Structure 1
């Protein structure tokens, strides 16, 4: 979207929610002078309270009242701005109308969804129209799924630069992480479980490794690609110690990365096979720990589907709108390493590392810089439109902005 004649450059929708406030605060501190920002949500008084807490740089930001069930208000919002950044989830409940309004208006859009079914429905509903209007509809611009998508992106770029072939077996390892699971993430899981229970076809779609691909019939047959595997580190890369457990966000992130490959006409490689796991240590009992983590993840999903255990889980898991203290957010961090073997037999690795609770503070940085990439990236952005991924919509522009914001994003040959 390049229409500088619009009144605004960026609207934060959901600015009164927990993550919305973090995003608004980040932009108030870090958005360059001259970027025209507004705050949007359901209640004017709450928006005013948020704005008043942001300091003098935000004092003149306009406030926009818009509701997720009022299509006219969302259409008006989308028509006033070049970019919308929304934190209002679960997106399957509250996101469809806004994504559609942005696609129709030719307005760029970023969100934080980690919901396979919502993303698939948005692709089917909005991709063609967004291509016609020039809109970039970019889902998953937080911890889901920027570290995954950009980690593979820079890995591919380094391999291509070295002329070392294409990517084959590729594994993301969450090497270290400190931070809580957000209430919004849990509520998204609840919503997806509920939809899958009502519609077996949706359950089958969500389980497909290529559920977000542009054309699943054109994807290569690479055999089983499990999201719940326990993996020996030595099978990932020589010298990588310990057994690895499934990463709980892998079932979504892997599908985003595969969509990036397909949208790029399989530039990563037709033999590109991708999975995500997490480190659980290197002691002699790590195989047991990794297996227990895998069983626990599967058990939580089953528990969400069964009324008695759902009742208990709903009372012990975080609620939407809840979040950690400022101190806990500050102490959080994550380090993610991606390992690959290329078609020439070379081995490469990439790293994405940042300070701040990954689901909150670091996510606010990732979403904020994604939105600013669209506002300020201009001709440096990939020449693409439609329902895209962070790598295919933002690419090196976002990599540079996140590095400037303190992230480590690197790739090297092993």
Structure 2
């Protein structure tokens, strides 16, 4: 039997969603997975909820205790971490995984922390064989695999990859959890104190390999009309992490889409005057939110009204949420490709739990170490061809060409 998956942070908001999903998948007892967290009382409570013929076992481990984390790594095939904000709590586990050769997945969206982990531990992961794959949730699997899917279609149908790809959010229904809010606040807090970090966060190629880091200027989305989708558009809140992951995928794959590859993301707001107004309000609102997170008094005030860690969308909201994305690609000779990606359930929680679980299973069961050796990978560069069928069969995602 394969060594188990271990969900670390099992009692967190997303961790519980993930554990319930794995429990559903394990109807025949063949999955082999464990839960881990620091609170035995909370683990027992979750274990009782998941009781039955295949009740999962649990292990105790604290995010700051390397001895306990090393014991988890000794037992695990893949560790799935939901312990955020990762910039505050995530480093010890990445360090131990890199040292012990243990595969790892998470759902971080914290660019500055990912860069820090790559700089500090990539050489150890390459030496030990650990495959570290960040951003295996809504940020950034749909963007990363959506671009990869479009590019494969372009190559097959047109004989060339697209030099420019746009992702547009057509429709979206979902909510924030306290963990996401805490992560966003921490990024803004760090950036407010550090000019070098602000420059790093503004660099679309911050996560690319130094030896093939592009220099082409990327388009910065504002409130504008996009003729490709016949709609006004506004910045998409997840763009800051998703674009960095997509560019890193191009870098890790050897730049098949070109060193001058362009990629941006936006939300569609409508093609009339109301759509124009919504685009302007959305762009302004996002700017004001990040400024508010960066200033201590407003950050404190906003924290009183936003979800706290452990809080998030209700089960009904998770079940009825969805996301509908369109990707438009242009080749260098002005040919166009369009693909779509639809996902069931709340994108940040219901869908994310499923994507994260399937990414970990894919890494364990479908991706050989000969094909993908140790190092820091993205979802697309590590396992796109193997993961897309899993997501369509088991996670409610649908990739289509138009």
Q: TM-score range by the shorter chain?
A: over 0.9
Secondary structure of 2:4's match?
strand
TM-score (ref. length: structure 1): 0.92
- Native 8 Å contact 1:380 1:397 kept in 2: no
Query: Is residue 107–residue 135 contact of structure 2 (8 Å, CA) maintained in 1?
Result: yes
1:363 to 346, 349, 352: 352
2:264 paired with 1:243 = no
User: Which residue, out of 3, 8, 11, partners 1:13?
Assistant: 8
Equivalent-residue separation in structure 1 for 2:349 and 2:218 (angstroms): 33
Q: Does residue 213 of structure 2 align to residue 255 of structure 1?
A: no
Cα distance between partner residues in 2 of 1:54 and 1:195:
38
Corresponding residue for 2:278?
289
Other-structure match for 2:202: 207
In the comparison of the two structures, how many residue pairs are matched?
401
Deviation per CA, 1:331-384, whole angstroms, max 9, x where unpaired? 111111111101232211222211111111111110111111122214499524
Q: Among residues 215, 221, 233, which one is paired with 1:221 in the alignment?
A: 215
**Structure 1 residue 219: deviation in Å?**
2.4
TM-score, L = length of structure 2: 0.95
RMSD: 1.8
Please list, as runs of the form range in 1=range in 2, the aligned pairs for 1:4-403 lying within 5 A after superposition: 8-31=3-26, 33-59=29-55, 61-215=56-210, 218-226=212-220, 228-234=221-227, 237=228, 240-379=229-368, 382-403=371-392
- Measured at CA, do residues 207 and 70 of structure 1 come closer, stay the same or move farther in structure 2, by a change above 3 Å? same
Deviations 1:133-163 (A, max 9, x none): 1111000111110000000011111112234
Alignment partners' CA distance in 2, 1:51 and 1:114? 28
3-state SS in 1 of match to 2:324? strand
User: Which consecutive segments of 4 or more residues in structure 1 shift more than 4 A?
Assistant: none
How far off is 1:411 after superposition? 4.4
Query: Which secondary structure state, in structure 1, belongs to the residue aligned with residue 136 of structure 2?
Result: coil
Mark the runs of 5 or more structure 2 residues left unpaired by the alignment. Answer: none
Cα distance in structure 2, aligned partners of 1:381 and 1:172? 32
Residues 55-113 of structure 1 deviation map (CA, whole Å, 9 limit, x = unaligned): 32542x32111101111111111121110001110000110010111111111101010
CA distance in 2, matches of 1:160, 1:111: 30
Gaps of 5+ in 1: none
